[in-house]
Structure 1
Amino acid sequence: MPHTPFDRLACPLDSQPLTRDDNRWTCSHGHSYDIARQGYTHLLPVQHKRSRDPGDSKAMVQARKRFLNGGYYQAIATAVTQTTLKDHPSEQPLACLDAGCGEGYYLRQLAEQSPTDQPLELMGLDVSKWAVLAAAKQDSNTTWVVGTNAHLPVQSDSLDRVLCMFGFPVYSEFSRVLKPGGRLIQVDPGADHLRELRAVLYSEVRDSRSLEQSVPEGFEAVSEERIREVVSIEGQDNIQDVLSMTPHGYRAPKEGLERVAMLEEINVAVDVVIRVMEFR
């Protein structure tokens, strides 16, 4: 399928368009950013960092990679792909950013599941260099960038779709980079997401984020879909992976972690809400 890198990047220091010159990106003011040999570009200036090594750790990224490649969230990926392609003319390129892409699972699924006649221009961005490195190693046809949602290194009015998967939305930036009529696809955990695992970890199980969310300024609600199924996670290694890829791995009390360490199988709810909002 026609799956090509997204090329409308912007300088993170002055917002000028970036132009690719061999193995680097440069702007008209002379700022230059090398493309690493693994195929990604670091566009996160030190003044935009909140810590020396922000985002998910190398261990969290590897746990997420193993878990997602195991197919446990396949239903989410399929629904997101269908939602992303919906109402977009198949003969026109679809420019899509995954804002908080992790190790790139959902963009790879989008590329694999899209019709062969649908041109794709894909970009994945994450604040974790370990996540972007893992993504670039698995897919060389996408633009992979270390950056932040708070200052997207993307030219204005250049995207048809923005994905925000279990992430941290910055609506002012999403509206800036989307074309008029472009869509934000936001996926958040439902009330029952991983409830059975949380019940083992904690003495009291609280609902995940509220399903009731207002539509941000400049957007119009298009649709809302809830995906819910029960998956069986077998083996302590796989159980530890789903624990390690979530904040529960370092938030849960010692007693809860010890209880999880004794499990060899657990059935858990995968429960998410997919909200689609169109930029006006």
Structure 2
Amino acid sequence: MSSTPFQALACPLDGEPLNRVGNVWRCSAGHSFDVAKQGYVNLLPVQQKRSSDPGDSKLMVAARQRFLDAGYYQPIAQTVSKHLFNHAEVQSDSSLFGCLDAGCGEGYYLRELARASPSVRPLSLIGLDISKWAVLSGAKQDDKTSPLCNWVVGSNAHLPVQTAVLNCVLCMFGFPVHHEFARVLKPGGLLVQVEAGAGHLRELREVIYPTLKPEVAIERVLPESFAYLQGESISYQVTLEGQAMIGDLLSMTPHLYRASQEGRARAAALNELILTVDAKLMIYERK
């Protein structure tokens, strides 16, 4: 593994470059942001919050960590890593390959990316999420003596990252803000976007909802400032054993709050669930 924390952060208040001295990030205007003892920095000012505790809850983050660590989404992580490293290898640049996971959760995809790195070109990583619980979880799992990346509480709508400094942005089942992604990417940089396909978690949805809404074809609009390179469908089945793991799956998704009490009870009674994982991967290049 060859990775280092990404350093080109920007002040969320004025956009000026941040410099770290000790355990404080500070811009030229004097705005300062302390690095927490767990190893993350909060760059989400109160004026960018829609609630006092935005993003995934502590319960959702813990459930997602257990589910992902069990390896059920590893084929997705492997496919993303393959495309990213293929792009890195064809470039003549030997400098650090800067990559942001925008909506990183507890950092599963970044850790898998670092583990899969061929070490041909060192990675410079940043994990950002609006949920402080997610970022806290990612930072606590990191090695403090040799950290994997910089962990940042922040918003995709106002990325605390300097302009045109990244080689890649990952958006894994998250909320893409394409104009911000375009701003922070270098020309020729990649946006790797993964979203749920039509069959994703269908068996769980059939349990918790009385009926499933018919799928509606969505006309995809090419994001401004990007060119579409390629796409790939990632579809397979897994078997979840035990009520605890099925409960973690439900708890880590918005379905937990959308389902009725009766639907949640039906899911809680299951001891096994054969589940379809269906994801769409799309790769765009910054013009």
Both proteins in one fold, TM over 0.5:
yes
Aligned-partner residue type, residue 237 of structure 2: V
Q: Tell me, in whole angstroms, the C-alpha distance in 2 between the residues paired with 1:43 and 1:255.
A: 40
- CA positional deviation for 1:212: 4.5
Q: Tell me, in whole angstroms, the C-alpha distance in 2 between the residues paired with 1:177 and 1:127.
A: 18
**What does the per-residue CA deviation read over 1:51-101, in whole Å, with 9 as the maximum and x for residues that have no partner?**
000000000000000000000001001001111222213743210000000
Partner of 2:21: 21
User: Aligned to 1:101, what secondary structure does the other structure show?
Assistant: coil
User: Aligned to 1:9, what secondary structure does the other structure show?
Assistant: coil
Q: Tell me, in whole angstroms, the C-alpha distance in 2 between the residues paired with 1:6 and 1:117.
A: 18
- CA positional deviation for 1:34: 0.4
Q: Tell me, in whole angstroms, the C-alpha distance in 2 between the residues paired with 1:172 and 1:155.
A: 14
- CA positional deviation for 1:266: 0.4
Aligned 8 A contact 2:3 2:125 in 1: yes
Q: Does 1:242 align with 2:245?
A: no
From 258, 263, 273, the counterpart of 1:256:
263
Partner of 1:36: 36
User: Aligned to 2:237, what secondary structure does the other structure show?
Assistant: strand
Partner of 1:94: 97
**What does the per-residue CA deviation read over 1:121-144, in whole Å, with 9 as the maximum and x for residues that have no partner?**
000000000000000011232100
Aligned 8 A contact 2:195 2:280 in 1: yes
Q: Tell me, in whole angstroms, the C-alpha distance in 1 between the residues paired with 2:25 and 2:243.
A: 44
Q: Tell me, in whole angstroms, the C-alpha distance in 1 between the residues paired with 2:252 and 2:216.
A: 18
Partner of 1:121: 124
Aligned-partner residue type, residue 212 of structure 2: V
Unpaired runs of 5+ in structure 1?
A: none
Partner of 2:82: 82
**What does the per-residue CA deviation read over 1:36-57, in whole Å, with 9 as the maximum and x for residues that have no partner?**
1100000000000000000000
From 84, 99, 104, the counterpart of 2:107:
104
Q: Tell me, in whole angstroms, the C-alpha distance in 2 between the residues paired with 1:214 and 1:3.
A: 34
Partner of 1:7: 7
- What is the CA RMSD across the aligned residues, in angstroms? 1.3
Partner of 2:46: 46
Q: Tell me, in whole angstroms, the C-alpha distance in 2 between the residues paired with 1:177 and 1:4.
A: 18
Partner of 1:55: 55
TM (norm. structure 2) is 0.95
**What does the per-residue CA deviation read over 1:187-219, in whole Å, with 9 as the maximum and x for residues that have no partner?**
000000000000001111136785652211110
